[in-house]
Amino acid sequence: MCGIAGYVGQRNAVDVVLDMIKRLEYRGYDSTGIAFPVDGELRILKRAGKLSELKAVVDDENPSSHQAIVHSRWATHGAPTDLNAHPHYDHGARIALIHNGIIENYIELKEELVRHGHIFQSETDSEVAAHIVGQEYQEGVPLEEAVRRAVKKLRGAFAFVVVSVDEPDKVVCVRNASPLVIGFGKDGENMVASDITAMLPYTKQFAILENDMVAVVTPDGVKVTNLNGRPVDLETFEANYDVKSAEKGGYDHFMLKEIHEQPDVVRQCLAGRLSEKTVTLDGLFSDHVWQEIDRVNIIACGTAYHAGLMGKYLFEKMLQLPTDVHFSSEFRYGEPILSPRSLAVFISQSGETADSLAALKLCQQHRIRTLGIVNVVGSSIAREVDKVLFTQAGPEISVASTKAYVAQAIVLMLLGIHIAQKKEMPGVRTADLVQALRNFPDAVQEALDLEGQMQEIAKKFADSSLVFFLGRRADANIALEAALKLKEIAYIPTQECPAGEMKHGPLALIDQGTLAVFGATDKEIREKLVSNIKEIQARGGHVLALTGNDDDSLDKIAEDVVKLPPCDDPYLDALVSIVPLQMLAYYMAKERGCEIDQPRNLAKSVTVE
């Protein structure tokens, strides 16, 4: 979602924050803006469009300042225009504010402010917050007190960063649901951002700002209070990845880099969790809890939801454990079954997904055990669930998730084996599954060798107006994720469903030359797919089948066949097929000239409901 960065210190703050916000471009945005003090005034520059538009204006002025804040906006209230871009300014109070999130009661507050003579320049809810802070600031209190007072009048999920021309070298921050991270620099500099990635070139020491905390960031240090002004201690930590892990490393796009990182990501995900024949997951529930749990609710959005479907397949097949998968945005409104013996599993790359956090609060209210599967250490979900498993995938920059999905699916398999060990499930050969996991990184590497073939197929079908993704059992779940990738970055409509459902409606969409991608990795039901393939071909469709390299049954049936390395387990056989399908989406998008890492209308971390 929107990006925030702020800096105070000895360097040119304008250059620093522009560099910081550039590292957050992966979140998706449609306008940018910067504020910094110059000659006793706050200079504010804002531009719709990409960061390059703002940077061109800044370069013309070539300013220098020791304090600056910058914002990249993804429009919610008001179109992406110069006026609606942040920072927002209260002329009377001479303060500027940048904001992530949504102010739910902004209309009633705005009406009251207008009655008191306030004049608004934008259509945004964020400008209302700036005027609320400004109104309090004009009472003569310090900026941080004005922020504390203002927040108590607001409803919603938000993070603010505020500066005043009258209090130089001070950046005031407050968090309510939307993430903010403090960075501790050296030699009289400190900073703040909505993501650690932005600050990696400048520091490795960080602290997560908790909900309802106000931080005053100055060159000399950081002071934190709650909304009542009482001091709060911050717990600092050191980031576990470096700048290079968040750079392209010679690849054309972050997405391609992250696809190629997947063998190492799987190794990192498995590191320390596999012994010779068993899985060891530290810090989870006591053994007796796994005997009590009679149902699992997996709650997630987008790609993480698709990983959750893989978890459902695994838990029900391996553990005979009833499992439901819920869209986070629908969970609270569907009256879910939340028995005291159930487990709620929250899957999120960022750990800040607003809908998932809202669902988590509901589970906590019902005193349901909660487990998080997240990538970002220190994120809200990681801190608020009862127990957490980290995917250990490193920073994922591209908006379209690739390596995070594979890591989530692997963690779900580790969890399934862990539960099977605790429950001593008859017929589950956990030692064989452990060995299959140990071999899986090599299988992913072998799947990457299919890149040339996927490029050629992408060239043939880049102009498609519709693509089908089909499969059965675990392959049907992979089809959903593969279709999402193509929609996200190539903007091609897709139809995805279990292959057997084609004749119940979707078959009507098949036309001459329509591409249908079949996952056929499941040996037990591969023959069932042949009739589905024939249904497509009889109507002029073109079939691409993904199957094991030990199978030749489809060679003379499908027009294109992609041969995958065997993984000695149906779950992993299906999972490895996502690698060439990610590359298919990537190269089709590239052929179409799409902006791959930052697809239109989308954002990396969705921190509003």
Pair of tokens at residue 476? 């049907």
Would you say 218 and 26 are in contact if contact means Cβ atoms under 8 Å apart?
no
- Which residue type occupies 173? C
Per-residue DSSP letter, 210: P
**61 vs 192: CA distance, rounded Å:** 25
Closest by CA to 298, choosing from 404, 411, 188, is 411
Per-residue DSSP letter, 499: G
Annotated catalytic residue within 2, 173, 497, 567: 2
Residue with tokens 């996952």: 519
**521 vs 519: CA distance, rounded Å:** 6
User: Do the strands 542-548 and 3-8 form a parallel or antiparallel pair, or are they unpaired?
Assistant: unpaired
**607 vs 468: CA distance, rounded Å:** 31
> Is 604 in the active site?
yes
Annotated catalytic residue within 46, 257, 312, 604: 604
Instruction: Kindly give the interhelix angle for 430-448 and 578-591, rounded to the nearest 10 degrees.
Output: 20
**515 vs 203: CA distance, rounded Å:** 48
| Contacts for 595 with CB less than 8 Å, ≥ 6 apart | none
Q: How far apart are the first and last CA of the chain?
A: 11
**Residue 395 backbone phi and psi in degrees, to 5:** -65, 135
Instruction: Kindly give the interhelix angle for 126-137 and 143-151, rounded to the nearest 10 degrees.
Output: 130
> Is 2 in the active site?
yes
Find how far residue 263's CA is from the centre of its chain.
20
**321 vs 294: CA distance, rounded Å:** 7
Catalytic positions, please? 2, 604
